[in-house]
Amino acid sequence: MKSKNLIASVLIAASLTTAVSTVVTISGSMITTAFADSTSTASSDSSAASSSATQIHNLSKSYVVYGAGASQQSTLKTILGVTDNYEQLTTTGADAQQYLGLSGVADSAMISSVAVAPAEPGSGILVNIKDFNGKNNISQVTSQQYSMAATMAGVKDVIITVSANQAVSGEAALAGVYKALEADGATLDSANTEAANNVMNATQDAINANSGDSSYAGKLTSAVTKTAGEVAQKKQDGQTITINIIVNQLNINLNKQGIADETSSTQVQNIATALKDVADAPISNSSAFVTQAKDLAGRLSSSVGNVMAQAKDFANSADVKQAANWFITNIWNPVVSWFQSIFG
């Protein structure tokens, strides 16, 4: 019995040390986090700029965007970490048309909901997909894909948190992010958002084909994002961008990530075709985008799973406190209960 108690004490103490470190970081720093969630089912929810500054927008406050078809909003509010300082919006079928180019989508088909909060400068786009009542209802799109697409659309330094009260594929979650950005005063270029959506969709087949490799999504989106930034730099240097240039650059980056053999030539071609849209869009005239793409590619390379942001990443102290409470409830308390069940 003494042996069991000793083991339990050591294990719990080690866990407490980790948790206390996390909480201290949470309470002692400003936080920027990004969480992204899918809002669609597979069937239903699914001009050069005069200045590069017009292509990149810094969020001034936090937003929560509920899908018009989402139920149990009070539960979603808690899961998304929403506080009183969040402005509330709703995505409808009209938003699916405006931001995703999807026609004929009913309001009831807009299911997933998303919280968008400012992040610390230089954080990039951090996305967390959160379970709803213990279940991940986003069946396809990964946190890394959301992060990649939002960056290509001109979003900067935000934490996106996504969740859905029922199973959906995830494509439409970006509509909520785009709607929040426009509500914040951003002028989104449809060429940028369309290109970003195309790249996200183009990566889906390769990610599905490698679903058994938990690191593949991060490595692929890293290679794709890095390629987008490198091609944009070439364009700004005066080079004419062809599909062959993009394919060659993408293959170089896939090799660097060690996933060239796991990515078919057809998948590479489809992704390169989508990246050509990015190269032709105004976002590729932005020097800030080149920097952001490079920085995000480094972060994505080692990103695994649904959680990219921690409480320490939030820029707003109220958001930090909410994130810390979520950590205690969903991570710390279950760990303590598990140890107690074994050694109690």
What's the whole-number mean pLDDT along residues 238-246? 98
The Cα 29–Cα 202 span in angstroms is: 38
Q: Tell me the whole-structure pTM to 2 decimals.
A: 0.76
Confidence of residue 330 (pLDDT cuts 50, 70, 90): low
pLDDT over 60 at 193, yes or no? yes
pLDDT tens column, 63-82: 999 999 999 999 999 999 99
* 12 and 147, same domain (yes or no): no
Better pLDDT: 243 or 344: 243
* 218 and 244, same domain (yes or no): yes
| Predicted local distance difference test score (pLDDT) of residue 15 | 36
pLDDT over 60 at 103, yes or no? yes
Of 41-55, 239-253, 262-276, 291-305, give the lowest mean pLDDT range. 41-55
What residue numbers bound the domain in which 17 lies?
A: 2-29+323-343
| Predicted local distance difference test score (pLDDT) of residue 316 | 60
pLDDT over 50 at 20, yes or no? no
The Cα 171–Cα 139 span in angstroms is: 10
Percent of the chain with pLDDT over 90: 63
Domain count, the chain: 2
Tell me the range of 14-28, 56-70, 72-86, 329-343 where mean pLDDT is highest: 72-86
Residue 60: strand, helix, or coil: coil
What's the whole-number mean pLDDT along residues 87-110? 93
* 306 and 334, same domain (yes or no): no
The Cα 189–Cα 191 span in angstroms is: 5
Q: b/e map of 94-125 (b: 16 or more CB within 10 Å)?
A: ebbebbbebeebeeebbbbbbbbbbbbeebbb
pLDDT over 50 at 279, yes or no? yes
Distance of alpha carbon 81 from its chain centroid, rounded? Answer: 16
| Beta strands, E only, the chain | 57-58, 63-67, 87-91, 113-118, 125-129, 155-156, 158-163
* 127 and 260, same domain (yes or no): yes
Residue 201 lies in a domain: yes
Tokens describing residue 87: 């402005």
* 11 and 99, same domain (yes or no): no
Q: What residues contact 75, with CB distance under 8 A and at least 6 apart?
A: 132, 133, 165
* 147 and 69, same domain (yes or no): yes
| Predicted local distance difference test score (pLDDT) of residue 21 | 32
* 126 and 225, same domain (yes or no): yes
| Predicted local distance difference test score (pLDDT) of residue 124 | 87
* 24 and 89, same domain (yes or no): no
What's the whole-number mean pLDDT along residues 321-331? 50
